[in-house]
Chain A
């Protein structure tokens, strides 16, 4: 006995639309079962994870704050993934972007530097992330090194550089030996979008990136180039699109947006350099990109959903004493269900009886 996936002759558009909904339901059923097995009430957990944060104004702002870096990184990654290139190192590009931008914040600390500081920091963040993203791209195009490995390993390099800076040269001398820098000047702090809001301007960057990407994907030759490179690489070469340049471009774009997310987070949210500046946004964004099916609007929605789970997970830890790992596991279940539902829309499962392969 074995299972076979048989392509469907025609794909029903209704099923394609309904599939993600069914995937979410399935994921919640599985998650509920796990919580029930842990001896907690699945309904209470649903309340804490989903409906609770949605009713609380503070939590709603927090939702946007958490969704911002996820959306920004994921939209960048969608360029890579469309072209079938695997940048797994957004976390590292995020960190290096933060370091590049923070350098300027710390260099101008306590001076009368003007309003140019903040934009320059953002540009440096973009640049830093892009340059760091270009490292695996260069290694791939020049030497044929697998980009999955190099981009992933460079994450640890970036994290160790940050750790060194926070404990070493950039440590605040008056900080009682805590491994952190001075707090950024107001001129180097990304302001909130509204007075007294926690939502900073990074959210605007994310929205702009999503809109621009929607246009790029739908109406430009570059968008088509990515899709063609991903779906039929030989046809892309036949179309005159150099694989090398495509690789370099998408790694620069995704690295740059991850870097922008990094500096936005440090400048708008954390306010100083610390040994750790991300709860794994760069990795979670991979999930977000695929949950959103690489579609800009889908990524926007997925980043909000995953941010909701982040916040719900924290409350669940406090209120229900459920382990944080459960949140991570649930993310995995959700992704699996969405990808599985996508596969089942285009393929049907067939059970092949014994003896078919004597």
Chain B
């Protein structure tokens, strides 16, 4: 970063040439060329499964390429490990943070630094970098007390302390509020101005158009375009990413009836995990015919709320949750399914579906309670197979074989399957946590359309999502969850992004606000 040797060198800092990575039959990267100059903020765009992660892993020494070469300041290098990558001057901020919750900020940074540095030394450096880049951090706070934005700052500071020449950020804004994102962009621009190259991985076009002057677009493991994102429209770029025009979700005609399908009254719940959130007096009603969205930064009680609505955790009071007018706060998930509820959790693999089981077996998970896939304790495997086939056809699930194991599907296709598995039951109530998390644009559109269609057909749909664009697109009303508190819902048209951002930070509620 404070590299004074930044001159307008004609040579790129790093150049990838013909990088290819083959996993068995699959070509994850196919002859990829990419060059980044010092001080350049370069976007790597692509849908899930386009090969972005593989490419970055190769660059960071986690994965070995099958063919191709990497030139670092003009010299070919073999990056055999992340340690070697860091030694060259690469820093990486992962999408999923690698921090120790119990340790303090300074300790987390000290642990990751190579060489013997005293904690005092680290603290001093931390203060320096924090001030220089406006990355406010308290060195002695334990990590588990911090917001996602603050945790990301630790990761960034950790990289900066190693004076990187190239900083790689993987989907950095996915856990940030709009305000936090603005703040991050300011920091990145400052870094770039000092000559640090930045590789910014994202699927959010608007922010790429704001931040980056060049972008490489991947599709199916290949480079389909290298362009200046500010000179193209978002639609144009999206079409390049997906390989086809992406339509818009057709909504309209919301006819919320007065029939309350889901009613939550004074739901209060202590956390199950050590650092989970306490749900605090949640009040919520969802009516037939409408989509209600719950916005919020990850880790503010969304998973706890989902678990207490689905019945995986019990609220302790029968009237805390009512489905179709029947109190079910003390009833388990099967009983709630029988009342007309359907649930799709955030984690696809391991929670919504068993990774090693076939899709037909996976239908049993949420269908056995209704008695449609067997009777008297016996399973009708033929019916389960037919059901899986119906879901695959109705929701355009692309499968590699007739009845594959769930883990063989791409994220988007599995998500279409688990959402389809619930919608095909024609539930009166559907509760979805992060419906399009890590899902490609095409699948996301299909899923959002299916959610809207379900509500227009007379069901109540509750969508918990970190993706504000998504909520603005499909929700009729939105509430915001912060630190286990849920704001009152307001019609989507009455919210502005700024107002939601303030609620997400807890500023609006005027308590427990983290410094933005």
Contact = CB atoms under 8 A, between A and B. Distances in A.
Interface of A: 8-10, 219-224, 227-228, 231-232, 234-235, 237-240, 242, 355-358
B351 A235 contact: yes
B227 to A, nearest CB: 34
A235 B332 CA distance: 14
A238 B357 contact: no
A355 B77 CA distance: 13
Nearest to B349: A232
A358 B114 CA distance: 12
Given A224-B361, A228-B357, A228-B365, A238 B80 contact: no
6 contacts: A10-B24, A232-B354, A232-B357, A358-B80, A358-B81, A358-B83
B355 A232 contact: yes
A228 B363 CA distance: 12
B24 A355 contact: no
Nearest to B355: A232
Given A9-B24, A221-B364, A355-B80, A234 B350 contact: yes
Given A357-B81, A358-B81, A235 B364 contact: no
Contact of A222 (B345, B350, B377): B377
Contact of A240 (B353, B369, B374): B369
A293 to B, nearest CB: 15
A238 B352 contact: yes
A311 to B, nearest CB: 38
Given A221-B379, A224-B379, A231-B356, A239 B366 contact: yes
B337 interface: yes
Nearest to B365: A239
Given A237-B333, A356-B81, 10 more contacts: A9-B23, A9-B24, A10-B24, A234-B347, A235-B354, A238-B343, A238-B345, A239-B368, A240-B332, A357-B81
Interface residues of B, number: 37
Most buried by A among B87, B312, B378: B378
A107 B353 CA distance: 54
Nearest to B310: A238
B467 interface: no
A238 to B, nearest CB: 6
Contacts of A9: 23-26
B168 to A, nearest CB: 19
A357 B86 CA distance: 12
Interface string B251-273: 00000000000000000000000
A239 B364 contact: yes
A242 B366 CA distance: 14
A344 to B, nearest CB: 17
B312 A237 contact: yes
A237 B374 CA distance: 19
Contacts of B26: 9
Contacts of B424: none
Q: Lowest 10 CB-CB distances: which A-B pairs, in order?
A: A9-B24, A240-B334, A232-B354, A239-B365, A234-B351, A240-B333, A235-B354, A356-B80, A231-B354, A232-B350
B84 interface: yes
The residue in A223, A232, A238 that gathers the most chain B C-beta atoms within 10 A of its C-beta is: A238
Contacts of B350: 232, 234-235
A242 B361 CA distance: 18
A312 to B, nearest CB: 37
Nearest to A216: B377
A237 B365 CA distance: 9
A235 B87 CA distance: 42
B379 A231 contact: no
